Amino acid sequence: MKFKEKYLHSLRYKPGEGCWPSPNLLAMENKNNLETVPAQYIGSEMDVIEHRNCSTPAEAIKVFERACTRLLSVNEWGHYPGISAFQLIDPQGIRAERQARLNDYIRIDIPGPGTQAGMGYDWVQIEEITTETDGKKQVLSMRVRPCAHPLSQKKETAHFLKSEATSSFIITQTGLHVSAEEHARNEVPNTDNGSLYDKGRNFMVGMAAKLGFSYPQWKGLVKALLQD
């Protein structure tokens, strides 16, 4: 698959554009955002959305740009209440103290025992970062997928979900409205790879996610992205 990384551009407003979108427009925007999310074809799915209404176009731009910075500042996610510890790792397997980039890895420290395949952690890779600016709205999206430990020779998926699963994070600004979203698709416990211990552990954690125990974490993240 060929991936593209575009760069974020500021949206300049014209008089009269800074209005609160109607419920129908918001529903349309959410539907349009879902067009960038992989299709659901197996396992479970989850959609977590947070909205914020701003008073002025300048405030909306500020909230949007700050949310984008926070989304790409993966190492800071664990500082928000109820969020696991996340560490950005570059494509060479080295800790990265910067904003996320295409093909980076994210090391996840979930409470409790980690995977042997992941050397104690769960791992995902950033497979897409895109932006869109069309004069009426601006969007930043980032998609990650379970993967092997970047330094492993076995290339076994080191995550409690199979590699078919994805998480798509989307920040959108339309007029005075800003939203932050997380969309999980095709979540199936990873019981095919790794040791017997990993299979059992992944089944338990994967089923917990399927039952909705991961919802509070992602809800806490999308709320934090939009807060002052």
Q: pLDDT at residue 215 above 90?
A: no
Cα–Cα distances in angstroms (integers) from residue 152 to residues 51, 98, 158, 160, 215, in the given order: 40, 24, 10, 17, 30
Q: What's the confidence (pLDDT) of residue 211?
A: 62
For the four alpha carbons of 36, 121, 83 and 80, in that order, the dihedral sign comes to negative
Q: What's the confidence (pLDDT) of residue 212?
A: 64
Tens-digit pLDDT profile for residues 120-150: 899 999 999 999 998 889 999 999 999 999 9
* Spatial contact of 185 and 166, defined as CB atoms under 8 Å apart: yes
Mean pLDDT within 27-49: 81
Q: pLDDT at residue 5 above 80?
A: no
Other C-beta atoms lying within 10 Å of the C-beta of residue 81:
9
pLDDT grade, residue 31 (50/70/90)?
low
Q: What's the confidence (pLDDT) of residue 59?
A: 97
Q: Residue 148, CB half-sphere, CA atoms under 13 Å: how many?
A: 9
Tens-digit pLDDT profile for residues 45-85: 999 999 999 999 999 999 999 999 999 999 999 998 778 89
* Spatial contact of 41 and 53, defined as CB atoms under 8 Å apart: no
Q: Supply the mean pLDDT for the chain.
A: 84
Phi, psi of 3 (to 5 degrees): -105, 150
Q: Name the nearest CA neighbour of 75 among 90, 91, 63.
A: 90
Q: Taking the model in full, what pTM does it have?
A: 0.83
Tens-digit pLDDT profile for residues 160-175: 999 999 999 999 999 9
Q: pLDDT at residue 105 above 90?
A: yes
Q: pLDDT at residue 151 above 50?
A: yes
